[in-house]
Structure 1
Amino acid sequence: MTQKHYDTLVIGSGPAGEGAAMKLAKSGQNIAIVEKHSKVGGGCTHWGTIPSKALRHNISMLVDYKRNPLFLHSVEQVNADYPRMLRAADSVIQEQVSTRYRYYSRNNVDIFNGSASFVDANTLNILHVDGSSEQVTANNFVIATGSSPYHPDDIDFSHPRIHDSDSILSLKHTPKSLTVYGAGVIGCEYASIFCNLDVKVNLVDTRDRLLSFLDDEITDALSYHLRNQGVVIRNNEEYERVEPMADGVVLHCKSGKKFKTDILLWANGRSGNTRDMGLEEIGVRVNHRGQIEVNERYQTDLEHIFAAGDVAGPPGLASASYDQGRFVGAQISAGKCDWNLIEQFPTGIYTNPEISSLGKTERELTEQQVPYEVGHAMFKSIARAQITGHTVGMLKILFHRETFEILGIHCFGETAAEIIHIGQAIMSQKGEANNLHYFTETTFNYPTMAEAYRVAALNGLNRIF
């Protein structure tokens, strides 16, 4: 049988793999994708971003329904448990998968389903589910295999009461209580999801404050509202051992604290999906977290092998991974890229209320001795928020006191991850175009959440003049 050969083989069909494959296909290359699972889309589509955000959206609608005075007499008729909420997300996943298959078919991208491992620097072995295998060769490779939840060796993740962020999406019942170990983005999002299903939630943080990379005022607001929703937050804790029992699971902490709940969700760290790929044998360096070492071009030590997305390290965002994939595709097809990956990109954290942030925090500006001022728009004063009933939250603009350059934008509340892009567009402008006055001199639709930019800008100017 003749061995198939391609210009480039892309391993993984998540955001990074898709971005690379589409860019390369549009450049005229003969491309194939190797996907370990039975359907394309990667962890983002099947176990990460899409199902968790669809789940969160459905629960948010339930919360809005329960709070709406128009439905006070029918609230008791609502029977929405966790499995039902998960099933409601299935249609979104299937539509995403179908859309991607159309992309690949239209652009003549071949798809191999199976586990990939390198035989040599130009040959890939693909092991299929039925045990058969085949080998394909290529001039170039893009490794975009993503990441998986980190599993400490001393914790039994096969136990039905112990879950990670993948297996929690297969939970068949609504637990009465839950301990989340790890208060990063994933941990905070799931704490928010479950507490709004009336589950008693412990959120155990290994650091001194939630999401310490964010602006302090934003994380203070998040902590307050999570606690207000019933979440018990414990900071500066480190696990000693996990004890599964017949009627629950106990998290023992080194401080002496014990948390016994129905379910434990381990949300502390992720590892690159590089095991059993034969990377070290061909000279590709992999660090202790399973992440591939790359240069500024996302190139490994072998110049024809690239890595993009979570498997190449931070930031671990689907949006950034897709751009990295396109960037790598340009490097392979043209030897260069006529655009650069942005250094500042927005973070979107889908707690309830959600968070989005871009640029410097107050803490960073203070440490750097930058003269800045703050403009606030509290959502409770925004007409659109009053209409929708989503009055919790604020938009916060940090700007230079002398030049009025926008230095950071931080938003907490409904649609935060949407309206951040208005500020991003202005912050990306060069020179004087990045200026707070843009928001005071521009007419915004009324009533909209975008109007918060004008309110925040005027508030900031009033602090100076």
Structure 2
Amino acid sequence: MTSQHDLASTFAVPSLAILGGGPGGYEAAMVAASLGASVTVIERAGLGGSAVLTDVVPSKTLIATADTMTRMVDASDLGVKFDVDGTDCQPLMRADLKQVNERVLELAREQSADIRAALERLGVKIIIGNGRMLDNRTIEVDRGETSEIVKADAILLAVGAHPRELATAQPDGERILNWAQIYNLQELPKELIVVGSGVTGAEFASAYNGLGSKVTLISSRDQVLPGEDTDAAQVLEDVFERRGMTVLSRSRAESVERTDDGVVVTLSDGRTVTGTHCLVCVGSIPNTTDIGLEAAGVALTPSGHIKVDGVSRTSMHNVYAAGDCTGIFALASVAAMQGRIAVAHLLGDGVNPLKLTQVSSNIFTSPEIASVGVSEADVASGRYQGDVVKLSLNTNARAKMRNLKDGFVKIIAHKGSGTVIGGVVVGAGASELIFPIALAISQKLHVDDVANTFTVYPSLTGSISEAARRLHVHQ
């Protein structure tokens, strides 16, 4: 059997130019370089792309601080007391947002530097500048005062996306903000209005609520997190309400204007909402304009995303694409997988096409919401035949010990065969707890396989085992 190491010496390994240094780009670069390819990465901002510099790493670092404060609010239920000068008065917590954001951005810079160092150790050439394709084998890089031509046998496009803006709600970086600008704040917003209740909006609303802001979340849909598990969205809405957040459902923001000391958001029905700051989270736009796609013969979808097949190949045989610019799933893990698949296909290594039913995702609200595979809505619509069991975490001994009051485990098994095909976890650490369910799906395990695997007692994973046990069919 030929090993990966032997692959480079057995075949002529093509050179690869990667436009974009985010997860799709840098993961592909690492794999290609390890297989002996000559790799050049062209990145305009810094290694890691927006995922590391302005999106995933900063937002989840901010959320970690908010989670700490949220846990401390409930600490008294566990018998933890905070004394001030010998009294039993509980001191008020406050978030030093300047320090929080300095830490957020410093961690992002450190992560970016670590990625760059790892690529350089593998011999990857890195060029900082704006790249534009001249044809399907040539990229011109604008480096400011100079330019450079990069030629390669194949090109991977990992150009990402940027925040979508509303013409009537233009960010100014001070009072009206998008998700890339919010880390510039030096003081905690007293009253934060979040426009958009998708993943990004819900995460920031949850985080700033935990940090101490009075938050109003404007949602154009019937529920927060439209498209997500309905039970999970309901748990989150209940938690938001309990923690003092205002959720305006079926409300569409028409405009956001700055006032002398804050902002005013006008809704489509004429109502107005006032606050000190507004964060606009209304989706993203792929960075596919003015990068020479037409000259290279790369086709786009009507939404402006790059068309790709299951192995990340575009309409040009030697041009691949990965990440948010493809419009598949806006997840760093998917971008990285797309990049790795592209390299495997290019270099003739063993390749498995992207399987969206195996993609785990997590929403880093408090509580977290993680999901994988087939949804309950898929079962209800008849797309899949399945049995569903939902088990509340309020019966879990470990959850009680940790004072975790909100959440559940939901497992979906294929009707008849009993194979695990989907799952949802809502609760603290759901991003970690979803892994055994994802593993069961990818390996086509039976619910009995999950149920009969030992778990630690007490543990939150015990509820995963118990939910699987309740899906057992007597033989």
Q: TM-score, normalised by structure 2?
A: 0.89
Could you tell me how far apart the structure 1 residues matched to 2:316 and 2:470 are? 53
**SS, match of residue 268 in structure 1:** coil
CA deviations over 1:344-376 (Å, ceiling 9, x no partner): 111110000000011222232122186644333
1:315 and 2:315 are equivalent in the alignment: no
- Alignment match, 2:3: none
Shift of residue 393 of structure 1? Answer: 1.1
Given residue 453 of structure 2, which amino acid in structure 1 is its aligned partner? T
Q: Aligned residue for 1:72?
A: 82
In structure 2, the residue matched to 1:305 is 319
Within-5 A mapping of 1:29-108: 29-37=37-45, 39-69=46-76, 70-73=80-83, 75-76=90-91, 78-108=93-123
Q: Is the 8 A contact 1:81 1:197 kept in 2?
A: no
Aligned position for 1:122? 137
Residue 112 (structure 1) aligned to one of 127, 135, 149: 127
TM-aligned CA distance change 1:407 to 1:305, over 3 Å: closer
TM alignment of 1:436-447, pairs within 5 A: 436-447=447-458
Shift of 1:103: 1.6
Write the distance in 2 (CA, Å) between the matches of 1:79 and 1:184: 27
Amino acid at match of 2:56: T
Q: Give the letter aligned to residue 125 of structure 2.
A: D
Match of 1:339 in 2: 352
Moved more, 70-79 or 172-181: 70-79
Distance 2:319 2:436 in 1: 37
Distance 1:212 1:51 in 2: 24
SS at match of 2:60: helix
Letter in 2 for 1:73: D
Q: Hey, what does 1:3 align to over in structure 2?
A: none
- Equivalent pairs counted in the alignment come to 453
In the other structure, the counterpart of 2:6 is none
Q: Is the 8 A contact 1:19 1:329 kept in 2?
A: no
Q: How does 1:13-412 map to 2 (within 5 A)?
A: 13-37=21-45, 39-69=46-76, 70-73=80-83, 75-76=90-91, 78-128=93-143, 130-158=144-172, 160-287=174-301, 289-334=303-348, 337-344=350-357, 345-368=359-382, 372-400=386-414, 402-412=416-426
The CA distance in 2 between the partners of 1:222 and 1:425, in whole Å, is 26
Look up the SS of the partner of 2:240 in the other structure.
helix
| Residues 132 and 290 in structure 2, CA contact (< 8 A), matched pair in contact too | yes
Say whether the 8 Å CA contact 2:312–2:339 is kept in structure 1.
no
Closer, same or farther in 2 for the Cα pair 1:261/1:36, shift >3 Å? same
1:232: how far off? 1.3
CA distance in 1 between counterparts of 2:74 and 2:314 reads 53
Offset at 1:282?
A: 3.3
Distance 1:242 1:62 in 2: 30
* Distance of aligned partners of 1:454 and 1:36 in 2 relative to their CA distance in 1, 3 Å threshold: same
Look up the equivalent residue of 1:197 and give its one-letter code.
L
Measured against aligned partners, the alpha-carbon deviations of 1:239-298 in whole angstroms (never above 9, x if no partner) come to 322222122211112122211111111101101112321222333233454422223332
Are the aligned partners of 1:162 and 1:264 in contact in 2 as well (CA < 8 Å)? Answer: yes
Q: Which runs of 5+ in 2 are unaligned?
A: 1-13, 85-89
- Which amino acid letter does the alignment assign opposite residue 342 of structure 1? K
Cα pair 1:59 1:85 within 8 Å, conserved: no
Match of 1:412, SS state, is strand
Greater CA drift, 350-359 or 402-411: 402-411
Q: Helix, strand or coil: the match of 1:398?
A: strand
Deviation at 1:400, TM superposition (A): 4.2
- Partner secondary structure for residue 76 of structure 1: coil
Measured against aligned partners, the alpha-carbon deviations of 1:154-204 in whole angstroms (never above 9, x if no partner) come to: 432236211111111222221111111111100000010011122111111
1:453 aligned partner: 464
Percent identity, aligned pairs only, is 27
- What CA distance in whole angstroms lies between the structure 1 residues aligned with 2:112 and 2:428? 28
The one-letter code sitting in structure 2 at the alignment partner of 1:354 is E
Residue identity matched to 2:111: Q
Check conservation: 1:356, 1:412, Cα contact below 8 A.
yes
Q: Tell whether the 8 Å contact from 1:376 to 1:455 is kept in structure 2 after alignment.
A: no
Q: Distance in 1 between matches of 2:452 and 2:292?
A: 58
Deviations 1:293-351 (A, max 9, x none): 223332223222211110111211001110000001112222x6432322211111000
Q: 1:298 to 1:115 in 2, by over 3 A?
A: same
How far is 1:222 from its partner?
Answer: 1.3
